[in-house]
Amino acid sequence: MNNNVATVLQITDIHKVLGGKEILRGVSMTVDKGELKILIGPSGGGKSTLLQCINFLLPPDQGRIFLDGSEVHFHKKAELYRYRQQVGMIFQDFNLFDHLNALDNVSIALRKVKKIHKAEAGDRAYHELERVGLSDKTDLYPAELSGGQKQRVSIARALAMDPKVILLDEPTSALDPELIGEVLRVIVDLARSGMTMIMATHQIGYVKSLTNEILFMENGRIIEHGPPEKLLSADADTRCRGFCEMLKDLVREP
Amino acid sequence: MDAFTAIIDALPYILKGTAVTAGIVIGAMVLGLIAGIPMAVGQVYGNRPVRFMVGVYVWFFRGVPVLVLLFLVYFGVFGFIEIKLRSGYGIYINFSPFMAACLVMGMVSAAYQSQIFRGAIQALPQGQLKAASALGMSDSMAIRTIILPQALRIAIPAWSNEFSIVLKDSAVAFVLGTTEIMARTHFVASRTYQHLPLYLLAGVLYFILTWMGVKALLKLEHKVRIPGYSN
Ligand SMILES: Nc1ncnc2c1ncn2[C@@H]1O[C@H](COP(=O)(O)OP(=O)(O)O)[C@@H](O)[C@H]1O
Ligand SMILES: [Mg+2]
């Protein structure tokens, strides 16, 4: 019997210098299939930089990345493009394609990158929009959607590519408070359905029960990591807990 | 001969010039578009040598008067090629002033249009290219399917402005003997001495052409407008 869960993504010792400053100072992690990893930490700690290094939107200066056990050679263009198709990315400010309606936002990469026929790509896109609760908004353009709807379209866009892992960079922090719930519900559903994800977020309360590891990041390093019950329990003496308590206090303030 | 009959008599002849003027302007704008877009892309996304070369091109054509370029190309370059072909290969060709005007105005417009498109590309949020790359698109595919469709929309008002400038600059082509509005008006006026009504007529024709072009481009702008954006 083999109970080992397959490792989907492994990154080792990522370093990145930006503007003469070392933003990432040796970050490593292993993400197993179906896992939701939570990345948390003070602003400027390097969470966005790390997520962008993972799909080489920012090429790391040093370090290695493995998908399904094989190393990604990002200098080879074809290999890089194939890798990125398998790694979804959700941005803080959505980055929907402003000139395309919701359906085309989701289907364009299917058509142009995966070369899927237009009708079939449209069907698939519709299905993904349905999955995030937007089947009645397919014809609307980004400027006609609310922030929460935009972020759900961007999740559908990522899902349509059948990614092996999705990276989410503070997917709810650009949203009005009343719109956070609808996006988090979609993410929670994804986690329950077994999608592998790495999410930078400050909405720790909603996803605590779904993650088995929190990574606390500060000054370009993961300085604490472990299951939420260990890092956040009432008697835990961790930087992570202190930070989360502070966040809670901030939110509670009128 | 009064002013009115002067205009009536000259009208058919001068009106034929509007087709030539339109030809020069359309040729120049299309040439400028075809050359300007890749130049803009090269200037934004290209490597150092590419950016440098585009920069040199733009500075050259911004810095030299159209009149100088017209003489340089028509008498200088074209003349040189004609003589070389004739003496070297026995090939007799004649480049027309019309071709020189199209080419020169097109090359100058390419310099200006490249800057219009560069500005439009740079006005787009950086996240657009990032999101396209994150989906596995190559840079060239992302530029073609995501960046340019948006940048070209943004560029229409400035492009319309460039059109109106090229249209009026095209009058300079008369110095080469192109049979456009200005050349024909000049020809008639200098024989009939009816300068005032005839140059007024030419002015009105340029105005009408400008108005029609700008209106058409405004229509295009509305037609391709992305829903949800104001105005
Ligand atoms: N292009 C850049 N050039 C220079 N510094 C940058 C650049 N991008 C990010 N940084 C710096 O890197 C640090 C980490 O940023 P970021 O990864 O966005 O952190 P986080 O997402 O955790 O808030 C910040 O101090 C930021 O100023
Ligand atoms: Mg960030």
What CATH code is carried by the domain that includes residue A180?
3.40.50.300
- Starting from the CA of residue A54, give the closest ligand: 1
Q: Does residue A127 lie within any of the structural domains?
A: no
Question: A6: exposed, middle or buried (C-beta count within 10 Å: 0-12, 13-18, 19+)?
Answer: exposed
Instruction: Give the model's pLDDT for residue A1.
Output: 40
Distance of CA B220 to CAs A43, A55, A68, A143, B19, Å? 45, 39, 49, 20, 22
Angle, vertex CA A141, rays to CA A140 and CA A142, nearest 5:
125
Nearest to A195 by CA among A69, A85, A53, A32: A32
Q: Give the closest-approach CA distance of B139 to chain A in angstroms.
A: 10
List, for residues A170-193, the tens digit of each pLDDT value.
999 999 989 999 999 999 999 999
CA dist., res. B44 & res. B46, Å (int): 6
Let me know if residue A41 belongs to a domain. yes
User: Distance between CA A74 and CA B196 in Å, rounded?
Assistant: 70
Instruction: Confirm or reject: Cβ of A49 under 6 Å from ligand 1.
Output: yes
Buried b (16+ CB within 10 A) or exposed e, A195-210: bbbbbbbbbbeebbeb
Tell if the CB–CB gap between A144 and B227 is shorter than 8 Å: yes
HSE of A243 in the Cβ direction (CA atoms, 13 Å)?
A: 21
- The residue ranges of every structural domain in chain B are 2-223
pLDDT in the model for residue B224: 95
Residue A2 confidence (pLDDT): 45
pLDDT value of position A254:
42
Of all protein residues, the one whose alpha carbon is nearest to atom 17 of ligand 1 is A46
Position B230 pLDDT exceeds 80 = no
Mean pLDDT in chain A? 92
Quick one: DSSP state of residue B145?
A: I
Mean pLDDT of B169-197: 92
Number of domains in chain A: 1
pTM for this predicted structure: 0.92
Q: Quick one: average pLDDT of B36-63?
A: 97
Model confidence pLDDT, tens digit, residues B84-140: 899 888 888 888 999 999 999 999 999 999 999 999 999 999 999 999 999 999 999
Average pLDDT, stretch A2-30?
Answer: 91
We find that the CATH architecture of domain B2-223 is Orthogonal Bundle (1.10)
Q: Flag whether A106 is in a domain.
A: no
Residue A44 has pLDDT above 80, yes or no: yes
Q: What per-residue confidence (pLDDT) applies to A241?
A: 81
CA distance B160 to chain A (A): 21
Residue A169 forms beta bridges with which residues?
Answer: A200
Question: Taking 50 as the threshold, does the pLDDT of residue A87 lie above it?
Answer: yes
Q: Which residue of B has its CA nearest to A80?
A: B136
Confidence of residue B50 (pLDDT cuts 50, 70, 90): very high
Q: What is the pLDDT of residue A93?
A: 95
| CB pair distance less than 8 Å for B150 and A99 | yes
Report the amino acid identity of residue B228. Answer: G
A47 lines ligand 1 (CB under 6 A): yes
Range of the domain at A195: 7-97+166-252
Give the pLDDT confidence score for residue A207 in this predicted structure: 82
Contact residues for A25 (Cβ-Cβ < 8 A; gap 6+)? A15, A219, A220, A221
Residue A63 lies in a domain: yes
Q: Is the CB of A19 under 6 A from ligand 1?
A: yes
Selected for mutation to probe chain A from B121, B124, B135, B226 (highest A CB count within 10 Å) is B135
Is A34 inside any structural domain? yes
Distance from CA of A56 to the nearest CA of B (A): 9
Ligand 1, atom 25: nearest CA belongs to which residue? A44
